[in-house]
Structure 1
């Protein structure tokens, strides 16, 4: 997610977005959608990290 935000300058990837990392492929869009669905089970540190990346719903949940 951080790679996407740094490259794109913000915003959120769509659900189908895939990041190609060195030695791996990460389904960033699906991962982010899953985090949002499970946000009530994320701890404060995880929500803060997401909020620092500019994810609106994470900042309001902290």
Structure 2
């Protein structure tokens, strides 16, 4: 499938990447794995926006304190 998978998140973690950005939606297992290990995860990335799925370090916080797609 073209979805962001558990295996893709795991490979990013093994490589020491602080963030994984994909153009597709993540699986529930991938989200759980990213959350458990503090990996920033963005999905449905386009040239002008992305969905912030997991932001453990607050990199994508906006002024009102909520997460925003950037």
Q: Relative to total residues, which structure has the larger helix share, 1 or 2? A: 1
TM-score (norm 1): 0.32
Q: Relative to total residues, which structure has the larger strand share, 1 or 2? A: 2
TM-score (norm 2): 0.29
